[in-house]
Chains A and B, each alone.
Chain A
Amino acid sequence: MKTLIKTALLFLLVVSCIKDPKLPNISYTMGGGVILLDEGNYRSGNGSLSFYSYDSSKIYNDLFSSANGRPLGDVPNSVLLKDTKAYIVVNNSGKIEVIDPSTFVSKATIENLKSPRNMAILSDTKAYVTSLSSDSVAIINLTSNTVSGYINMHKTSESIIVAGSKVFISNWAGGKEVMVINFANDTVVDSIQVGAEPESMVFDRNGRLWVLCNGGYARKNNAELYEINAATNRIEEKYIFPTIDDSPTCLNIDSFGQTLYFIDKGVMRMDIGSPSLPTGPIIEQGGGQYYYKLAINPLNGDILVTDALDFAQQGYLYIYSYRGDFVSKQKAGIIPGSMCFNLTINSQTN
């Protein structure tokens, strides 16, 4: 049991969304909940921030602009929580907003990033940010909130995950590799050949890195799921999706590091020990729905999935229990995307 809790805590860290020790000072953030980024339309500058409160079971939209008097930016892509700060990577605005997760007030803006996508915090003072359109990963100085350098990978980068002194970075757009970086000296130490367009990655309880390869934009390759030994960088197992139309995204794992989740026209679930890919979804995607992003509540296993509908109107956040039973449907902003849990131990409902 102790190991289980330890593992759970480890994954809270890895997923980089840990509980906020400070009591938030806004009523609806009191009981904890989920920060949700509404991407808005590409080049329309209408990205926004929503918060789903577990306390009141309500969603609050447009919180960044309410708190700061200006829009969040163009396509906020990912959000990461670290102590009393949340880092929002705003892709097409080329910036990271550093906000107070309880008030949503911006404390700093890290600028001059080229198409930033995802962030990993390596220490109190250092982080990496991946880039969709440049060949380099940016090194961020978290004290001065500036770009302090770059690691040239000669490839674009997407998903990023930390294990010990290693950082694994996937080369998504047009790529097929996972790069391994030693963050002590910011050098590329290895690369692992995987399937076409590795899009998302998680660690399981056994220290295995799972890499979901989407198959590529042009649909010339089948999607694949790789299981990699993070200590040796060797591929242990490979699962090939049955049809060319399978285009899975958003690999997630529960806080026990035991159960994988991803979206493939519905929410799919797979045990890490499973000999094969799941055959059907646990949550089906209905007509006119477009399941876009996924998150698993680390405390109670709730499955949160966003629906972008036609990508030009306010979408929905759906909450299902870990069993896959419908709990709640909330109207979010335009193209609701990435989520990050900001929970206190007592805040979980149902």
Chain B
Amino acid sequence: MEITKKRTFVSHVKNTLVYMVFFLPVHYSGQISTDLDTIKIKEVVISRNKPDTEASGYKKTKIDSSTLVNYSNRNLSDMLSENTDIYIKSYGMGGTSTVAFRGTTASHTIIDWNGININSPMLGQSDLSLFPVGLVDDVNIYFGGASMLLNNGGIGGTINLETAPVWNKETVISLNSGIGSFGSYSELLKVKTGNNKFQTVTKAFLQGSENDFRYLNTQSIQSRITETRTNNQVSQRGFVQEFYYKNSENLLSARFWYQSADRNLSHPIGIPDQGEKQFDQSLRTMLNYDRVVGKSNFSLTSAWVMDRMNYFNHVDTIDSRNLSKMLTLKAGFENPIGDFTKLKIVLDEESNVINSVNYTHKTTRNTASASAIIEWNKARVGTTILIREILDRQTLLIPDFSAALQLRLINAQEYYIKANLSRNSKIPTMNDLFYGSGGNPDLKNEYSLIYEISYEMNQKISVPLRLKYNLTFFRYAIDDMIQWQPGEQIYWTAENIKKVISSGAESSLSVDYKYNHLNATIKAGYILTLAKYGESKYKNDNSEGKQLMYVPVNQANASLRMGYKSFYTSWVSSFTGTRYTATDNSAFLNGYFINNVMAGMKLPLKSSSVDINFNVENLFNINYQSIANYPLPGRYYNIKILFQFIK
């Protein structure tokens, strides 16, 4: 039984430090890239003035390229949940899936596309199940304060999906086909061609699934019966076109991304099917111009994003049609001041237009911000100071800031102490403000003070062996958190109600071994999140001091990846602890431990290659739920074949 009430919660965690030591670390450590890479991705610089390039004192990680290749025919939600300890909440295969960091919420997480926020302005969040990994070239994760280097509002963090050209004179055509259990299939075609001045990249994908997996009906009349998921089909398609042009001083890029998804939404266990359907459609375009003059950099970006989301429920007769349009203009300027200091100025302007049957009329919003970032780096010390002023709907907010310090402990060696203190504001979503019944135009912005300190090392122990370790402690004090709740009216309204204190630790360890034809990487990680409801105004409220709903206290993961000549294999385990489903912690979902194994081989042919691999997901056939009553599949399989042709 997934939900069991009245369990007295006994914390396993007596001593964080003990855990830190024994249950060593995690995180897809960036630079460790094994020879598993099926596509050689060369080091490229899209633009020299990306605002985040060197900023010292922050926690950022990068998903390694081999992982991106292995998940190229899957979605971002699967990739992040199996390879990072960012917390993913999923309504099941193909269903809506959201991401949260460190006890904050999905709307405190920003999904960026090349530095531009593409979260739905209505919901303030993104559905990660709609992002095929194969469409992006890099995934960078900015934790806590680091997120402010890109945007405001990502109190928990920002995930930046990047696309970048490879400036060489060759044509690469790759076709990635996958089939798997429950009638799933995927096709991803990429064509890249150009020279050292011009590049064009075209990507197209098509994927779908019946998703008719077996699950345990935890609410059934006969105990422990398994049933088949119905009305759960997914079908997605998309097209991406990118053009890049550069000369010695200028870089121009144009990007276009269209995709749509038709989904039938299966019912929660114990509830008759309601004939729910959802149609998502997105069109994202971006123009970017970068210019280098002497030591100065300028950049201009404009992005226009349209999202359509239509939801239909047959039983409750809901026909919800929503269309949002978002125009973003971003200008950056970067200039050195003296030998050690660099100044960056970023201006950002975003306007939203919403057409929704749930709003009383067509609704617009305009938000602008100006940021100044000063970086100072000398010898073993680096500092970053950021100040940001936001103008939201003609009102200036209290300025946000971030200050970071980084110390290199030993000269020329990668041992660091990093610390930062930030104040980050999150302006309310359009739904929070304007939803027809319950939207509250008088809402204040949420804000959080974020404290973070980490120790990081990346050290070659011997010729074949490299060790990487990170230990981070964080503390968030979130105030005026927006929550929908019953109020004066018959319907629920959005209010600045809760205070939340979230503190915890993340630790990750990665050991990389390379010798002759053999390479191996072992990673292990543990994350502790103590996210508590703060003081309540009300005497009867039993949520005070309790763990937030759907925030696991404990998460851990471990993986082993090995490669020998053309063979490669991996074993990935992840553990998600108990999550409460009531604010007074009177009900919860059990934790789960999921294992995935994969084996494959890459056969180089003349000017092309074939890479084939076989995956077993949820090896031990565990019954589990990420959201109460939305079952996730037991053991399932998929096969992927990647043809790559280079000329």
Mark B62-99 against chain A: 1 for CB-CB distance below 8 A, else 0.
00000000000000000000000000000000000000
Q: How far is the CB of A340 from chain B (nearest CB, A)?
A: 22
Q: Is the CB of A44 within 8 A of B581?
A: yes
Q: How far is the CB of B317 from chain A (nearest CB, A)?
A: 6
On whether A44 and B491 interact (CB within 8 A), knowing A93-B272, A287-B537, A313-B582, the answer reads: no
Q: Which of A291-322 contact B (CB under 8 A)?
A: 307-314, 316
Q: Is the CB of B539 within 8 A of A313?
A: no
Q: How far is the CB of A241 from chain B (nearest CB, A)?
A: 12
Residues of B within 8 Å of A, CB-based: how many?
41
Inside 8 A of B540's CB, which chain A residues have their CB?
286, 288-289, 307, 309, 316
Q: Is the CB of A310 within 8 A of B537?
A: no
Q: Is the CB of A219 within 8 A of B490?
A: yes
* Cα–Cα, bound, A71→B288 (Å): 55
On whether A310 and B541 interact (CB within 8 A), knowing A214-B490, A219-B490, the answer reads: yes
Q: Is the CB of B586 within 8 A of A71?
A: no
Inside 8 A of B316's CB, which chain A residues have their CB?
115, 133
Mark B92-123 against chain A: 1 for CB-CB distance below 8 A, else 0.
00000000000000000000000000000000
Of B536, B537, B586, which is within 8 A of A334 by CB? B586
Q: Is the CB of B315 within 8 A of A114?
A: yes
Q: Is the CB of B489 within 8 A of A311?
A: no
Of A61, A71, A287, which is within 8 A of B219 by CB? A71
Q: Is the CB of A311 within 8 A of B485?
A: yes
Inside 8 A of A61's CB, which chain B residues have their CB?
6
On whether A46 and B584 interact (CB within 8 A), knowing A94-B272, A114-B315, A310-B485, the answer reads: no
Residue of B nearest to A289 (CB): B540
Q: Is the CB of A312 within 8 A of B583?
A: yes
Inside 8 A of A43's CB, which chain B residues have their CB?
268, 271, 629
Q: Which of A313-337 contact B (CB under 8 A)?
A: 313-314, 316, 334
Q: Is the CB of B220 within 8 A of A94?
A: no
Of A48, A114, A289, A313, which is within 8 A of B543 by CB? A313
Q: Is the CB of B315 within 8 A of A115?
A: yes
Q: How far is the CB of B561 from chain A (nearest CB, A)?
A: 38
Q: In terms of DSSP, what is the predominant structure of the interface of chain A?
A: loop
Q: Which of A34-51 contact B (CB under 8 A)?
A: 41, 43-46, 48
* Cα–Cα, bound, A74→B315 (Å): 14
Q: Is the CB of B587 within 8 A of A288?
A: no
* Cα–Cα, bound, A247→B488 (Å): 8
Q: Which of B348-364 contact A (CB under 8 A)?
A: none
Q: Is the CB of B549 within 8 A of A314?
A: no
Q: Is the CB of B270 within 8 A of A93?
A: yes
B221 CB–A CB distance under 8 Å: yes
Q: How far is the CB of A88 from chain B (nearest CB, A)?
A: 14
Instruction: How many A-B residue pairs have C-beta atoms within 8 angstroms? Tell me.
Output: 114
B542 CB–A CB distance under 8 Å: yes
A168 CB–B CB distance under 8 Å: no
Of A44, A46, A217, A314, which is within 8 A of B490 by CB? A217
Q: How far is the CB of B116 from chain A (nearest CB, A)?
A: 34
B9 CB–A CB distance under 8 Å: no
Q: Is the CB of A288 within 8 A of B436?
A: no
Residue of A nearest to B587 (CB): A46
Inside 8 A of A69's CB, which chain B residues have their CB?
223
Inside 8 A of B6's CB, which chain A residues have their CB?
61-62
* Cα–Cα, bound, A214→B489 (Å): 11
Inside 8 A of B436's CB, which chain A residues have their CB?
218
Q: Is the CB of A314 within 8 A of B538?
A: no
Q: Is the CB of A46 within 8 A of B581?
A: yes
* Cα–Cα, bound, A74→B539 (Å): 29
A290 CB–B CB distance under 8 Å: yes
A83 CB–B CB distance under 8 Å: no
A245 CB–B CB distance under 8 Å: yes
Q: How far is the CB of A102 from chain B (nearest CB, A)?
A: 21
B441 CB–A CB distance under 8 Å: no
* Cα–Cα, bound, A290→B490 (Å): 11
Q: Is the CB of A310 within 8 A of B271?
A: no
A73 CB–B CB distance under 8 Å: yes
* Cα–Cα, bound, A347→B485 (Å): 38
* Cα–Cα, bound, A92→B316 (Å): 10
B6, B488, B584, most chain A CB atoms within 10 A: B584
Q: How far is the CB of A339 from chain B (nearest CB, A)?
A: 19
Q: Is the CB of A109 within 8 A of B221?
A: yes
Mark A249-283 against chain B: 1 for CB-CB distance below 8 A, else 0.
10000000000000001000000000000000000
Q: Which of B563-596 contact A (CB under 8 A)?
A: 581-584, 586-587
Inside 8 A of A314's CB, which chain B residues have their CB?
542, 582, 584, 586
Q: Is the CB of B268 within 8 A of A309?
A: no
Residue of B nearest to A311 (CB): B486
Q: How far is the CB of A302 from chain B (nearest CB, A)?
A: 20
B437 CB–A CB distance under 8 Å: yes
Q: Is the CB of A73 within 8 A of B270?
A: yes
Q: Is the CB of A46 within 8 A of B549?
A: no
B5 CB–A CB distance under 8 Å: yes
Q: How far is the CB of B14 from chain A (nearest CB, A)?
A: 27
Residue of A nearest to B222 (CB): A70
Q: Is the CB of B317 within 8 A of A46?
A: no
Inside 8 A of A45's CB, which chain B residues have their CB?
3, 219, 268-271, 628-629
Residue of B nearest to A134 (CB): B315
Inside 8 A of B537's CB, which chain A residues have their CB?
287-288
Inside 8 A of B221's CB, which chain A residues have their CB?
70, 109
* Cα–Cα, bound, A44→B219 (Å): 11
Inside 8 A of A62's CB, which chain B residues have their CB?
5-6
Q: How far is the CB of B442 from chain A (nearest CB, A)?
A: 16
Q: Is the CB of A46 within 8 A of B628?
A: yes
The 4 A-B pairs at the shortest CB distance, nearest first, are namely A288-B538, A313-B584, A45-B270, A247-B490
- Which A residues lie at the B interface, using CB under 8 A? 41, 43-46, 48, 61-62, 69-71, 73-74, 92-94, 109, 112, 114-115, 133, 214-215, 217-219, 245, 247, 249, 265, 286-290, 307-314, 316, 334
Supply 7 A–B pairs (Cβ within 8 Å), ascending by A.
A115-B316, A245-B488, A286-B538, A286-B539, A287-B538, A288-B536, A316-B540
